[in-house]
Each structure stands twice: as C-alpha cells, then as structure tokens.
Amino acid sequence: MAVERNDKKLNGAGLATLWGRITTLVSNSISALSTVYAAISHNHTKSEITDLVNATDSTGGLMTDAQAAKLAGIESGAQVNTISGIQKNGVDVQPDATSKKVNLAIPTKQSDLTNDDNTVKDASYVHTDNNYTSDEKTKLGGVAAGAQVNVVETIKVNNSALTPDGNKAVNITVPTDNSQLNNGAGYQTASQVNSLIDAKISTTYHAAGSKLFANLPSAATLADADAAGAILGDVYNVTDGFTVDARFLEYDAQKTKTYGPGTNVAVVRVAKQSGEGYDFFLDVLQGFVDLSNYATLDDVETLSSTDIADICAYPE
C-alpha cells in the first residue's frame, strides 16, 4: 500500500529549472536596487562649509595649524604637574646648570654615614660568653654529633626478633614476586584464568554448520530438556530466507519478522517463570529493523517545472 505524503522529491532536471528561477530573481532584484541606490559623488572645500570655525578654548571647531603644531610637540603620556623644587634633608638642591639634572647622593656603605652613637666594629671579635648553665654545657658535650633522641632496641619481622650481624646491621628480606608468598586467598594464575575462559566459551556458543530453515531443531526437540540440553549453544547458518515461528525468542504473533539467507541462529535457554527449570528456544543472532512505516522511492512524487515556478513566483 502506497504511503500518502505531501512532499515531493527534486530530480536533476528540476534542480536546473530551480536554479534558473533563482538566478533570474536575484538579477532582477540587483537591477532594481541599483536604480534606487545610485552612487553619489560630492566634494566640498573648507571655505564652502560656513558652519565650521576654528576651535577656541571655550568653543569646539576645526584645529588650526598652530594648535596642530602644539599638539605634535607634547610627548605621549605627558602630565600637567610641575615640580616646584627638590630638597635633601630639608635643604634645597639646585639642578646642574648644564645638564639640568639633580644628583642626590645616597649612602651605599657605613663609612658614608656619621657614627653618632659610637658603634664599635672589631673584625677579630669572638663571642665567648657562657649563656647557659655549666650542667647544660656538660650535657651538650656528651651528645654525639647528629645524635637522635629515639633509640631502636629491637627489630621484629612478623613478631620474630632479628639479631644484628657483626656490622650492627639488620637485613629484612622483602618478597619481590608473588611466587614467594603463600596463596592464602586462592588467586588464579594467568594460565588458570585462560583455561577457565576457554572452557566457558566452548560451552556458550559453538558452530554447528549450515542448515535449511526446515532442518532447524523442531519444537518437540526444544521441548525435550535432555535433547535440547545436548544442543544448547549450537549455532546454525541458515542458508535460506525464513519467517520466525513460535520456536524463536523473536516470535511476535502480531508482527511478521523475516530474515534473509546467511542468518545465524543459536539454541538458547531461558529460566521458567516459575523459577524451576528452563525453556529452550532458537535465537536469531542479529537485530531486527521494522521498515514497514518507511516510504519507498515509488511513494514520493517528483517536483515538476510548474511546481518549481509556483514556488519561485514573485509575491503579489
């Protein structure tokens, strides 16, 4: 059944017609605009503009040559502030007559300063005052250089004391490989893990060859727990197209689901709703896309030249 649609497709011939209509509309619009907005060329001299006068201190206007020269002579960032005088320790200092600079001598060493508090300097002076008690001095003399207050009396490994060797050293052997440890947690080795994975994979899916749809396991075989258990995980390559029936997990009495040749089908089991035992089904190993609501190429009409002309017509 054809799907009713309000839109139409555009083919090559229609596209050429549409482009011709667009270029005509654009060309006509540009011509109309060029007539309305014609280029205007107009020049004036300063003497012809009577409402513009030279600027003054109180009135804006055009800049005179003198004003422009004055502006050019002002450095960028110049400020209006003026230094009226420079003093050093309250005494006026005059700029040099030639360089117009003021040199302020800043002391850079003690000899540049007046020693008004009679400070004494002796390069060979050594402080010898004993600023702590005699007991403290004696105690300090008995402490070895680099000594620490903490003393380790015993070193144990797993509650077993270790005896230092002749060099007063204790060597603690720390395991560097898990093979040196007791496997109390029962960790698996890489080979053991790989063996378990291989065993699980071999019991999950395994190829069972190619079959016609009619030769797939029957409903009676799937209903027999022993027979179905023997083929659990078998995967068949179905060589012809088919529509699923009640043997399949994908079966839906309200919707037909069809698959093409080369589809893979596997035997799977699903726990019963009662919680005891399993039901066995066939399972298609691919997704299903329902295209019944999609329009075909035959359902979509082509835009005609008349349709395109109506779309591109000048508005009233």
Q: Who has greater pLDDT, 258 or 183?
A: 258
Cα torsion through 47, 48, 51, 57, rounded to 10: -20
Q: Which tokens sit at 57?
A: 């201190």
Q: What is the pLDDT of residue 282?
A: 95
- Asked whether the beta carbons of 286 and 264 are under 8 A apart, the reply is yes
Q: Which tokens sit at 237?
A: 């390559």
- Asked whether the beta carbons of 302 and 8 are under 8 A apart, the reply is yes
Q: Is 306 part of a structural domain of the chain? A: no
Q: Is 264 part of a structural domain of the chain? A: yes
Q: Which tokens sit at 282?
A: 């066939």
For 78, 165, 169, 172, 178, the CA distances from 175, given in Å and listed in that order, are: 77, 21, 19, 10, 7
pLDDT tens for each residue of 134-170: 788 888 888 888 777 767 778 888 888 888 887 888 8
Q: What is the pLDDT of residue 210?
A: 95
- The Cα–Cα gap between 305 and 169 comes to 102
Q: What is the pLDDT of residue 258?
A: 92
Domain count across the chain: 1
pLDDT confidence band for 83 (50 / 70 / 90) = confident
Q: Is 215 part of a structural domain of the chain? A: yes
Closest to 218 (Cα-Cα) out of 245, 249, 258, 252: 245
Q: What is the pLDDT of residue 194?
A: 67
Residue percentage of the chain with pLDDT more than 70: 80
- The Cα–Cα gap between 158 and 173 comes to 12
Closest to 258 (Cα-Cα) out of 241, 274, 270, 271: 241
- Asked whether the beta carbons of 277 and 295 are under 8 A apart, the reply is no
Q: What is the DSSP letter of 132?
A: S
Q: Is 198 part of a structural domain of the chain? A: no
Q: Which tokens sit at 104?
A: 């302020």
200: pLDDT strictly greater than 90: no
Q: Which domain holds residue 279?
A: 205-284
Q: Is 100 part of a structural domain of the chain? A: no
237: pLDDT strictly greater than 60: yes
Q: What is the pLDDT of residue 314?
A: 60
Q: Is 224 part of a structural domain of the chain? A: yes
Q: Indicate whether this model's pTM tops 0.95.
A: no
Q: Is 250 part of a structural domain of the chain? A: yes
The backbone region for 90, taken as left when phi is positive above 0, alpha when psi lies in -120 to 50, beta otherwise, is left
123: pLDDT strictly greater than 70: yes
Q: Who has greater pLDDT, 246 or 70?
A: 246
- Asked whether the beta carbons of 261 and 241 are under 8 A apart, the reply is yes
> Between β-strands 301-302 and 8-9, what pairing exists: parallel, antiparallel or unpaired?
parallel
Average pLDDT, the chain: 79
2: pLDDT strictly greater than 90: no
Give the gyration radius of the chain's Cα atoms.
Answer: 52
Range among 69-83, 106-120, 233-247 with highest mean pLDDT value: 233-247
pLDDT tens for each residue of 11-70: 777 778 888 888 888 888 887 777 766 555 556 666 666 666 777 877 777 788 888 888
Q: Is 27 part of a structural domain of the chain? A: no
